[in-house]
Chain A
């Protein structure tokens, strides 16, 4: 099993450009998440999906959209990138949502917006 995979690993954008970050998991997990990690800030939840067809806002959703394409895939879209969105983006999944389940993370996407 590959676990959680993310593409691309690195990306440089210019202000105003758009892009989609891809995430897939092969563990048959129900819940999936997108986080961003900035120095000194810890991971912050952008959006999550408790099941196929549902998405909910997290702590910092502004400037992002998501799509839960199927049970395996959860994509994050930046419609008009801004320098403030320079960050490391992690996708995660867990077998079922709720309080007590371990989250498994992908390797991250390092995004720079110039």
Chain B
């Protein structure tokens, strides 16, 4: 079993749609959680950290469920510019040891 698993997609949605991605992790001792965004043939960039209480940044909402060991990302009112691959990232401990999911590809269409 992979340490971080994501649905690879692709998710094809129309503009204005709401879309949700889930990510599961295997290590219950994981400390920190993030969503990164990666555009085609570009480097990953931080989209948002995921906090235990859940957090929102504009149209993006991240949730953490420690009991079930999954995190989620909700995108409301999708824009064409949201088309990218979304990477779930988990830090296994206090060490510098990040584990990346393989990514979920999103395409927003007009």
Q: Which residues of A contact B (CB under 8 A)?
A: 31, 33, 35, 40-45, 48, 50, 56, 58-59, 90, 94, 97-100, 102-103, 105-108
Contacts and interface: CB of A to CB of B under 8 A. Distances in A.
Contact of B95 (A94, A97, A100): A97
Contacts of A108: 42-43
Which of A48, A59, A100 is packed against the most chain B CB atoms within 10 Å? A100
B47 to A, nearest CB: 10
Contact of B43 (A44, A102, A106): A106
Contacts of B102: 40-42
Contacts of B46: 102-103
A33 B95 CA distance: 12
Interface of B: 4, 8, 31-32, 34, 42-46, 49, 87, 91, 93-103
Contacts, number: 58
A42 B31 contact: no
B98 A45 contact: yes
Contacts of A41: 102
B49 A105 contact: no
A111 B100 CA distance: 20
Nearest to A91: B43
Contacts of A42: 4, 87, 100-103
A31 B45 contact: no
A97 B96 contact: yes
A7 to B, nearest CB: 14
A99 B94 contact: yes
A50 B103 CA distance: 26
A103 B99 CA distance: 12
